[in-house]
Structure 1
Amino acid sequence: MNPSQMQDHAAAEGVVRHDRLWLYLLFALLATAGFFYINIMSAIVDGLITALGFANAEAGLVGSANIYGASVGSLCAVFIVRHVRWRPALLALFLLMISIDLASTLIHAPGLLAAVRGVHGVIAGMSVGIVYSVMARLHSPDRAFGVLLVLQFGLGGLGVMFLPQLVPQFGARILFMVLAGLTALALVSMLAVPRALAENAKSEITTGTPAGYRRCTVLLSLLALFLFQAGNMALAAFIIRLGEHAHLERGFIGDALGWATWIGTAGAVLVIVMGARYGRLRPLLAAFLLTLLGTAGFLWSSNPLVFLIANIGTAITWSFVVPYLFGMISRLDASGRLATLGGFVSKCGLASGPLVAGLLLRSDNFDLLIWLSVAVLALSAVAAFLAARQIDQLEVST
């Protein structure tokens, strides 16, 4: 497919052809509403253990249920985005999410809470899938997802820094009230999205992968995304517990996570600035190297400085790699449906991490968990490099 054909194809699919960061920011907020519980997963897991007396495995189950539900919702979105108008669909989904978040404040039983959060996840996953399908058809998906990561890490930094301090005073209900409030804000912000875009970016679309891309490129990109999210979230969901296990002060842990999350937005900012200007392979090589070094650094978490640096390094690379992987996936399918499928795969990875980690930590074996995360991230790097090389080569040839 030559450049002129690609432009015609993009126009037919409703791709927005102009970079508008404020528009990217609006869609980032819409996506974050269905995703924010993942950004504050460590605070949620810790809050359930601290305020409600849940065991590690029980708290991990609640978090995993929420994300597995989101995975199901994202998969459903793959099939419905062609048949719904995104704005009315999001309105209905956001209202349901707010209701379930408020209901969650009244539940104290692990099994029931896991079931309710699973339902919330299905609805939230559908909302994110719908938003992703529109974001993938914007002019620069790499930058659009970069803005998304900036917002998520920025708000996530606030969450992990302050929520653990508020849970002892207000109980676990504060966690779900914050989620409901953010969804309400997203609902209001949806009114600022131009009506013209709402018409041009309807989800009544067709699918198609540009000629020249092999199916294995798609599979490698999705595998890299799954493994990267699983390897990171396995450790991130229990990072507060890791700090306490290493005998760090609780106040320092919260501050370290908050600052690391905020500084971590630098990775996504780099994506916004760079885009695909230097291809994908070389930036991903550097990012994965730092990811592996930073994750291994958690083996020395008893040293406060090492704990802080490891959190900062992995936060930067997390916010850097994810937009590139979603940009690669979006590049493979201008219709946006593959990006929605990427959202499903991403959430499967994010859900699998805490579930496996919770089982491993029955004996508080944090060293084993860290080495497992390193191994999974290394496999993700191999898949990402192979896919990025193929995409870079084909883009140069066109």
Structure 2
Amino acid sequence: MTQLSSNELTRSGFPKLERNSELARLLLAFLATAGIFYVNIMPALVDGLIDGLGFSNQEAGFVGSANVYGAALGAFGVVFFIKKINWKVSAYLLLCGLIAMDLLSMLVSSPLIMMAARFMHGVIGGALVGIGFAVIARTTNADRTFGYLLSVQFGLGGVGLMYLPPLVPEYGTTALFLALIAFSVVTLLMLPFLGDYHPEESAATPLKSVGSKLSKPLLLVLFATFFFQAANMAVYAYIIGLGRDAGINIDDISSALGQAAWLGILGSGLVIIFSTRFGRVLPLTVGILLTAIGTWAFHFSELFWVYWWANVAIGITWAFVISYLLGLCAEFDTTGQMAALAGFASKMGLASGPMAAALVVGDGNYSMMLNAAVVSLIICLLLVLSPARLLDKAE
């Protein structure tokens, strides 16, 4: 299969990539990442607001949550319009909106105004992610494309976590927002090369034939996605503070987080390689249980090797499991509407995790946060087993 379509060019003269080529999957991954890339550098963002602007632990956590709650609202809103809008024109406008809001955020120093600004940024980014998820659902083997998505998020997130925190004391939060702007600009330059991805050209699967319905299996997957993302993001948002509380210096923490993010690419890479070769029940069960074990291990973070190992393990399993969860949701219709709804469930989890953690952690109660995260992961596993088994049988 060639990467470029032999008979289609955009009006501007850009060649369109074939809809299911590997390079097209990679560009779609950038598109779906651009609206929520701040999640992948959330520890740097939360810690940067504390060190750079003097926000309290709770204020910084609430800013992060406001950003992702806005994304949840944007992702939910786009569900109702995804069948009607021109997704590519909408993506151009939304990317420009993200850049504008990040520029505005550089001028803000008040916690309340920052929460409002980041909430609006989240709404715009969430709509973009919903569009990206919907388009990904129109590819064949959508879980492969989601694997590319997580590879981009963890790979570039690792770069951000290694190099951004040390820049905050010198350049303030401006360094964080400039990194987000750079990502949006790069995505804008990629967009012209993507095809149209009309829904009617999508391949049907046993579950896609039922149409866009809120069926019981889909609802279970949506709730499982919420609990999985909430558990991981609760810990991730405060992972720097947890490390400092355990006596680890910031250079070692940044190094551990960056390495964990890069090694997390192994998880999404396994999804790209295996796809559904071993079904979905087995990989989801193993992945979620390993995530729970890694989360529990943070109780012993005073041992740096445990802190490092837990970060790496969760980095790999997070990318691995969420690719399968999003891929499950994408199997329910050909328009991508249900995949966009999965984006909403994911963002609600990502937002609720830091919010709950902010209320629990207080001045340093990390143990209770870790225990709650483990319980949330077990709930996720119990919810997803039935729909995963159903899809395995259907295929």
Which TM-score applies when normalising by structure 2?
0.92
RMSD: 2.0
Alpha-carbon distance, 1:293 to partner: 0.8
CA contact (8 A) 2:210 2:332 kept: no
Alpha-carbon distance, 1:17 to partner: 9.3
Q: Distance in 1 between matches of 2:201 and 2:376?
A: 35
Alpha-carbon distance, 1:200 to partner: 3.2
SS, match of residue 363 in structure 1: coil
1:369-384 to 2 correspondences below 5 Å: 369-384=369-384
Alpha-carbon distance, 1:199 to partner: 6.1
Deviations 1:181-207 (A, max 9, x none): 1101101111222xxx21635999xxx
Q: Aligned residue for 2:209?
A: 210
1:1-20 to 2 correspondences below 5 Å: 19-20=20-21
Q: Distance in 1 between matches of 2:163 and 2:208?
A: 44
Q: Aligned residue for 1:267?
A: 267
CA contact (8 A) 2:135 2:197 kept: no
Q: Aligned residue for 1:292?
A: 292
Unaligned ranges ≥5, structure 2: 1-16
Q: Distance in 1 between matches of 2:274 and 2:299?
A: 33
Deviations 1:307-333 (A, max 9, x none): 000000011000000110111111122
Deviations 1:218-250 (A, max 9, x none): 111101100000000000000000000000111
Deviations 1:129-171 (A, max 9, x none): 1111110010110100000000000000011111101101100
Q: Distance in 2 between matches of 1:264 and 1:199?
A: 29
Alpha-carbon distance, 1:18 to partner: 6.7
The letter of the residue matching 2:230 is A
1:241-390 to 2 correspondences below 5 Å: 241-390=241-390
Alpha-carbon distance, 1:288 to partner: 1.4
Q: Distance in 2 between matches of 1:369 and 1:142?
A: 30
> Is the aligned partner of 1:31 residue 2:32?
yes
Alpha-carbon distance, 1:363 to partner: 3.2
Q: Distance in 1 between matches of 2:340 and 2:198?
A: 18
Q: Distance in 2 between matches of 1:261 and 1:310?
A: 12
Q: Aligned residue for 2:154?
A: 153
SS, match of residue 30 in structure 1: helix
Q: Aligned residue for 2:104?
A: 103
Alpha-carbon distance, 1:334 to partner: 2.1
Q: Aligned residue for 1:140?
A: 141
Q: Distance in 1 between matches of 2:277 and 2:18?
A: 17
Alpha-carbon distance, 1:19 to partner: 4.0
Q: Aligned residue for 1:198?
A: 196
Q: Given the superposition, is the C-alpha separation of residues 351 and 34 from structure 1 closer, same or farther in structure 2, using an over 3 Å criterion?
A: same
The letter of the residue matching 1:265 is I
Alpha-carbon distance, 1:173 to partner: 1.2
Identity %: 42
CA contact (8 A) 1:81 1:130 kept: yes
Q: Given the superposition, is the C-alpha separation of residues 168 and 58 from structure 1 closer, same or farther in structure 2, using an over 3 Å criterion?
A: same
Q: Distance in 2 between matches of 1:315 and 1:202?
A: 36
Q: Given the superposition, is the C-alpha separation of residues 132 and 303 from structure 1 closer, same or farther in structure 2, using an over 3 Å criterion?
A: same
CA contact (8 A) 2:138 2:197 kept: no
CA contact (8 A) 1:326 1:339 kept: yes
Q: Distance in 1 between matches of 2:96 and 2:109?
A: 23
The letter of the residue matching 2:42 is M
Q: Distance in 2 between matches of 1:187 and 1:45?
A: 27
* Matched residues, number: 375
Q: Distance in 2 between matches of 1:342 and 1:255?
A: 32
SS, match of residue 248 in structure 1: coil
CA contact (8 A) 2:221 2:328 kept: yes
Q: Distance in 2 between matches of 1:18 and 1:126?
A: 22
CA contact (8 A) 2:289 2:378 kept: no
Q: Distance in 2 between matches of 1:76 and 1:303?
A: 45
